[in-house]
Amino acid sequence: MRCDRQVVRRMDRSIDAPELVIGADTVVTLDGHVYGKPVDKQDAFNMISKFSGRTHHVYTGVAVLRRLQYGRWATDRFAEVTAVHMDTLPADVIHSYVNTSEPMDKAGGYGIQAMGGTFISGIEGDYYNVVGLPIHRLCKLLYRLYGSKDGSSER
């Protein structure tokens, strides 16, 4: 998540820079290979074919940038991993899915929150991590950083 520094440099030039910026990026791994978003339908087909009948891992890196005094920024980062078990899929099912264009903007070429979720037989870990933002862990971090309305940060 080195792009967080680039974001800070751009925001420092902005008068209306926000107090908080959250960035996340998700990738999928299988057999030592890293898969991002497919570049075309053939790439999506190839990705899903490789995942078919196997367990792959979804990683999301999250960076939270907080504005401090005097134009300084603090960055907190974490990564989450979820194991995803995909059912064995016939080629015609994969082709039909790829032709919906749903896979084109998703890491790993499928969307668990939509039609792609019908291919998943189970997961171990955070469902929302597979969607693209591990919201539970993010909220725990924000609560730790900002505490409750009464000023405590106990949870």
Query: Is there a contact between 120 and 87 (Cβ–Cβ < 8 Å)?
Result: yes
In tens, the pLDDT along 65-101 reads 998 888 788 999 999 999 999 999 999 999 999 999 9
* Residue 18 CA neighbour count, 13 Å, CB half: 7
In tens, the pLDDT along 107-150 reads 999 999 999 999 999 999 999 999 999 999 999 999 998 886 66
Give residue 36's domain range. 3-146
Residue 102 lies in a domain: yes
CATH assignment of the domain containing 16: 3.90.950.10
User: How many domains is the chain built from?
Assistant: 1
Known catalytic residue at 25: yes
DSSP codes of every residue in 72-137: -EEEEEEEEEEEEEEPP--HHHHHHHHTTTGGGGSGGG--TTTGGGGGEEEEES-HHHHHT--HHH
Residue 63 lies in a domain: yes
Give which of 89, 86, 84, 41 is closest to 60, Cα–Cα: 84
pLDDT-derived band at 51, boundaries 50, 70, 90: very high
Residue 98 lies in a domain: yes
Residue 128 lies in a domain: yes
Give which of 83, 79, 85, 119 is closest to 103, Cα–Cα: 119
Out of 16, 25, 31, 40, which one is annotated catalytic? 25
Residue 95 lies in a domain: yes
Residue 21 lies in a domain: yes
- pTM given for the model: 0.84
